[in-house]
Each structure stands twice: as C-alpha cells, then as structure tokens.
Amino acid sequence: MPSDAQPEHEHDLDALAVPPDIATDVFGERVALAVDYWRILATDGIDHGLMGPREVPRLWDRHILNCGVLGELISHGLRVVDIGSGAGLPGIPLAIARPDLSITLIEPLLRRSTFLDRAAAALSLDNVIVIRGRAEEKAVRAVVEPADVVTSRAVAPLERLAKWSAPLVRPGGQMIAIKGSSAAEEIERDRAVVGRSGITELTVHTCGDRVLETPTTVIVGTKTERSRGGRSGRR
C-alpha cells in the first residue's frame, strides 16, 4: 500500500523502518507486518494528514509499540471495538500482535476510514473490519455486536469517552483507554459521571513495562451488569 511518491520530509525511511529489538517481544513472528504498517504510516499516513512528518522517527516507540503492548490486558479470543481509530491506533498494532482477537475499527471521517480499509487489506488482516461512523450513533450501535473490550487512544476526555464506549461494551466487558500521565487525575475528576454511564471500577494500569522505556498508561473500567434502571444487562 505505501505510495511510491517520496514524502516531503527528508527522513531515511529504510533506516527508520528497521524495528527495534523489542518489537519481536511485542509482535513475535508477525514483526514483518508491523514493519509494513510502519511504512504505511510513514508514507500514506503522512500524505493523508494522519501523521505529522515529525512523528516519523517516533513511529515505533510512540505509536506502534505503544499500542501493540495493549494486548497484555486482553484475554484470548475476545471481540474488540476500537473507537475513533484514526490512523488505526491502537487497533491495527493490536490486530498484528494478537491475531486471535476480532477487531472492529470505528472511524467517522471518510478519508480516515478509507485509509483504514486499505491498510487492513494491504496487511491482510482478516481479523479486522472497518465501520465508518461515530461510536455514539445509533446506526453504528445497531451493526456492532456488543464487544468484550472497547479501546481508544487520544479520543476525548474520560467523561465523554465513557458515554461513547459504554453502549458498545457487553455487561462485564471492559473499556480500555490509552491515556497519559494525567490518567489518575481524570479518574478522580470524572469518576461519578463515568459511573452513571455504566462504567465502574476505574483503575490505572501500565503496559509494556518490561519492553518499553516509557510504558503505556491506560484507564481500565468495567461495564456494570445492571443498567441504571435496574434491569439486568444479560438476557
């Protein structure tokens, strides 16, 4: 999929595309797919405005590995919905690292959803489907099977993120949101309103502690078994 056109920036893509040693710890025998995704981000991702040229030298540590380690928190064979997927982060690195997962990427913008469709096809990721729409739209909820896990990265403040995520998660499932150093403060600030959306037991976790210089910080919450009206979430 990467275009043959030379990007405007002057980075040596061949040198930068070489994965760090720790990439094998995250992606295993599928590390070559991660390299292919790196090239897609460094070329078409830049051309589509999904990545800034300055991010190219940091694609491995700040984006691809940062997202791939999310699999540490997800059990085998689960259904995952990634909302506001953008350039495919964290959904595509997660799909590469964990082919046992079934991953749905939700993205409202046509330009981005087209990019995601082409990237998934170029990488032959048969465990990925792309849906164009907003997570909060009824039309999207109607076609997305309730997920075991809903993921996101840099999408919205926790309060809003929980409102979008909760309807897409099965009772007992989890919301896993990649956040920064302010994760604990977000929980403290938004815990009550997030709880009213049906997401409780909010905690801060880190992923990739053994392999990343800066581990990935996430907020994990669990969808309550019962709705506010007292009706069981299970049938």
Lookup: tokens for 46? 């830049």
- Tell me if residue 82 falls in helix, strand or coil: strand
Classify strands 102-107 and 79-83 as parallel, antiparallel or unpaired. Answer: parallel
Of 128, 61, 117, nearest to 95 (Cα)? Answer: 128
pLDDT band at 2 (very low <50, low <70, confident <90, very high): low
Total number of residues shown for the chain: 235
Q: For residue 50, give the nearest of 107, 12, 104 by alpha carbon.
A: 107
**23, 69 in Cβ contact below 8 A?**
no
Q: What is the pLDDT of residues 70-105, one digit of tens each?
A: 999 999 999 999 999 999 999 999 999 999 999 999
147 by DSSP, 3-state: which? strand
Cis peptide upstream of residue 90 (ω within 30 degrees of 0): yes
- Band (pLDDT 50/70/90 cuts) for residue 154 is confident
User: How far apart (Å, rounded) are the C-alpha atoms in residues 106 and 18?
Assistant: 29
| Residues in a beta bridge with 177 | 152, 219
Instruction: State the Cα–Cα distance between residues 31 and 44, nearest whole angstrom.
Output: 20
pLDDT class for 186, splitting at 50, 70, 90?
very high
- Whole-angstrom distance, CA of residue 177 vs CA of residue 158: 8
User: How many whole angstroms separate alpha carbon 150 and alpha carbon 79?
Assistant: 9
Buried b (16+ CB within 10 A) or exposed e, 183-201: beebbeebbeebbebbbee
pLDDT tens for 46-70 read 999 999 999 999 999 999 999 999 9
Tell me, yes or no, if the pTM score tops 0.85: yes
| 7 has a pLDDT exceeding 50 | no
All domains in the chain, ordered by first residue:
62-223 (3.40.50.150)
- Taking the C-alpha atoms of residue 15 and residue 17, their distance in angstroms, rounded to an integer, is 6
